[in-house]
Chains A and B, each alone.
Chain A
Amino acid sequence: MKQLVVSTPPHLKTSRTTKHIMIDVCVALLPAAIMGVVLFGLNALYVVLLSVASAVLAEYIYALIANKVWKNVSYFGSFWKQFDFTSVVTGLLLAMVIPASVPLYYPVLGSIFAIVVVKMLFGGTGKNVVNPAIAGRIFLFISFAAMTAYPIAKDFGLISVIPPVENDVTTGATPLTGILAGSTVKFTQGMLLNWLFGFGMGGCIGEVCKIGLLLGYVYLVVRKVIKFWQPLLYIAVCGLMTVALNGFDFTYFLPSILTGGLLLGAIFMATDYVTSPKSDLGNVIYYVALGLITAGLRQATGIEVVSFAIMLMNLVVPLIDRFVPCVPFGTKREKKAKEAKA
């Protein structure tokens, strides 16, 4: 008999590790990414590939420098062994929130900033304070004006013959900007379908095809990566807040949630484990606050602010975690008994 392993219980562990969860997130992002490439053409594909590749490469080079093993060629083996796919997720997410028409060095810059500055310098996986992809987007957004020039997606015209937005520029505002600026968009059923598939919509690569995002949402819920109510809570609160801010005009509800980056942000970015609260109660606070801030800031600024709202709430998460109390099983009964005695 060989030497036995001794350890603390439990001696059984689930086979699902961090790596599996991250691969699941990548898979969930694929439908929206593929639709992005279909709708925006080859440039979108280059952006996605460059973003992912530079994110992984940035992590590898950082690891080489941080571990002082840059002369050691065989280090790649051990890097790959502990590679947990978080940087692939970051790169993919970042590409989803970049317009397809940007110069190709944008995604590279954004990925390097996201991985090196936001993630690795704070201590790597699990230690980052804000979502790296969001920080990367904001970094690009406030640096380059081209980040706000959204190309219009191809309109395959299969669903509807009505042009969704009545303007004649090829690049410019997303439909959301139009709504926020007060243009009265006549809402029709055909438009809803166009919005869902992203045909003829302006926007970033991953955010236009809502069907793709919803497919990803279903996949994540089925694989138990996220809880089903988390994005729904955010989206519902944001939609209702927009309605309330516009004098309870319910025609704003669907446009406010089906345009812009709300779905992408709610499903993939706000739900990031590291930068969202740990407890259920904390999560309720987090998503409600996110919804309120997003709707409020959208109304006040007239630009798409989902990423700013998420980054803001990311910074508040440690406070929420500190505030949420731990209530052990059976405590309630004791309280009730005390009240009954009193």
Chain B
Amino acid sequence: MKAIKAKYAFHGVHVPDKKALASGKPIENAPEQDVLNISLSQCLGKPSTPCVAVGDRVKQGQIIAEAGGFIGAKIHAPVSGTVKSVTGSIILENDKLYETDYLPPLENPTPDEIKQRVGAAGIVGMGGAGFPTFVKLNPQDKVDTLVLNGAECEPYLTCDHRIMIEKTNEIAEGIALLKKALGVENVFIGIEANKPDAIEAFEAFDFIQPVVLKKQYPVGSEKHLIYACTGRKVAPGKLPASAGCIVQNVATCLAIYEAVKFGKPLIERVLTVSGGAVKEAKNYLVKIGTPLSALLQDNLTEDAEKIVCGGPMTGVALKDLDKTVTKTTGGLVAMTVKETNVEQPTACLSCGKCADVCPMNLMPMNTEFYTDAGDYEMAAKKGGVMNCIECGACAYVCPARRPLVQSIRKAKAEIRKGGNK
């Protein structure tokens, strides 16, 4: 279908996207690893429980850990090999034979079969939050719209962009499967205006409505994506299903397609390695459990000041490169001092710029003011802190460099603690 422009606008901030670094790089296979270290916390919810023992030989795609609860996901062996340890994380020695033990492929699956398969393949939301997709596909409310998230509004990251132009047909088939599983009528795919090639690619399918999103951060936030595409607003504290919408990331669609068509569980993902402190930006297809150091070690320049796991606006700054790739790792961004603009905070000017850019229409300066004063009740009332999506737009735009997200997190933690008493 012909792409349409998003009709609905909300507050946000224009962040230089710096995607040119990696957007032209085709997806390549990550270097082969001898040992994979698979974390048991691959998604939101409880960590998974290992179901293999030390010394077991597993095949690629075999279940190695069961979901830890209703909100949780199965984990499968990314390669064939021998289990070396199961405490804390599963350490797997790669025998480099790549013997597969996939699920049986499904021909013409029923909606229930698709949902079951998504659960069996351990698929989680691959945009970053990592909500188990199986849970999301069984909404409490009636859903009539599927919104695909191809916004990728985080600067530097290009992994979704690459799969959208390299694997357009596969994603479209994944979308068709999702549409069937949910029984929805409308399918939108929201893509930010800085990816015209991806928008054009999805115009070829007549059951998908591409929506050109304004170049604005955070247009890829779930609630704002729904608003931009459909004009529906998700009420504070409610799930998107309450507005009749389900949001899925394009990378998740690809995983669903592969799980149904080939029976391949979620054992690898595409991630971007980028930033001013890498020698060459890359888009890797990487096995879950690959150590981050293997992806960055030879590629780093001397002046790397900060390495962020995920996007630079919401990602986690790493202390070292000991962590490994999980199902939700969308990128690794190595930044120089110049890029991060690390400076000491100065006094708040009450300029109100943080409130102007807040996509949730909150007042971060009030949150910070009352949090510093220890009055968390007022922080919730006057700052609206409990509705914050922690996108970081306020702290990005603050001319006084106030650590607003830090205050917001502190206030949230304190309020939750108080609520549990």
B343 touches A8 (CB 8 A): no
Contact check, A14 vs B341: say whether CB atoms are below 8 A apart.
yes
Does A68 interact with chain B (Cβ within 8 Å)? no
Cβ-defined partner of B352 (8 Å) among A8, A278, A322:
A278
Cα A322 to Cα B366 in complex, Å, equals 10
B340 with A17: CB separation less than 8 A: no
Stretch at the interface among A36-44, A253-261, A298-306, A323-331: A323-331
Provided the pairs A8-B403, A9-B313, A326-B382 are in contact, do residues A125 and B346 lie with their beta carbons within 8 angstroms? yes
Q: List the one stretch of B41-49, B101-109, B208-216, B229-237 in contact with chain A.
A: B229-237
Task: Check B335 against A11 for contact (C-beta < 8 Å).
Answer: yes
Asked if A6 and B350 make an inter-chain contact with CB atoms under 8 angstroms apart, the answer reads no
Q: Are B317 and A329 in contact (CB under 8 A)?
A: no
> Does A333 sit within 8 A of B, measured CB to CB?
yes
Q: Is the interface of A mostly helix, strand, loop or mixed?
A: loop
Contact between A10 and B233, CB atoms less than 8 A apart: no
Instruction: Tally the A-B contacts, defined by beta carbons under 8 Å.
Output: 173
Please tell me if the beta carbons of B236 and A331 are within 8 angstroms of each other in the complex.
Answer: yes
- On whether A14 and B400 interact (CB within 8 A), knowing A278-B365, A327-B361, A331-B236, the answer reads no
Which among A4, A84, A125, A333 is the interface contact of B320 at CB below 8 angstroms?
A4
Asked whether any CB of chain B lies closer than 8 Å to the CB of A284, the reply is no
* Contact indicator B350/A126 (Cβ below 8 Å): yes
Which residues of the partner chain A approach B340 to less than 8 Å between Cβ atoms?
A: 5, 11-13
- Please choose the segment from B81-89, B161-169, B299-307 that sits at the chain A interface, where 4 or more of its residues have CB less than 8 A away: B299-307
Cross-chain contact B308 with A278 (CB below 8 angstroms): no
Question: What 1/0 mask marks residues of chain B from 288 to 312 whose CB sits below 8 Å from any chain A CB?
Answer: 0000000000001010111110001
Name A10's contact: one of B10, B313, B362 (CB within 8 Å). Answer: B313
B119 within 8 A of A: no
Q: Across the interface, do A11 and B313 meet the contact criterion of CB distance under 8 Å?
A: yes
Check B281 for interface membership: any CB of A closer than 8 A: no
CB-CB nearest in chain B for A13: B341
The reply to whether B382 and A10 form a contact with Cβ atoms under 8 Å apart is: no
Contact A126 B320 (CB under 8 A): no
Within 8 A of B (CB), among A1-50: 1-2, 4-18, 20-21
Within 8 A of A (CB), among B72-108: none
Task: Scan residues 293-311 of chain A and give those whose CB is less than 8 A from a CB of chain B.
Answer: none
Residues from chain B with a CB closer than 8 A to the CB of A327 are 361, 384
Against B, the Cβ 8 Å flags (1 = close, 0 = not) of A116-132 are 00000001111100000
- Interfacial chain B residues near A277, Cβ < 8 Å: 352
Assembled-state Cα–Cα distance A21/B398 (Å): 11
Of the A-B pairs whose beta carbons lie under 8 Å apart in the complex, a sample of 12, sorted by A's number, is A4-B306, A4-B320, A6-B319, A8-B403, A9-B314, A13-B401, A18-B346, A18-B400, A126-B349, A280-B352, A328-B362, A329-B361
B-side interface residues toward A, CB under 8 Å? 10, 15, 155, 223-224, 227, 232-236, 238, 300, 302, 304-308, 312-320, 333, 335, 339-343, 346-352, 355-356, 359-363, 365-366, 381-384, 387, 390, 392-393, 395-401, 403, 405-406, 409
5 shortest A-B CB distances, which residue pairs? A10-B392, A126-B347, A328-B387, A273-B351, A334-B235
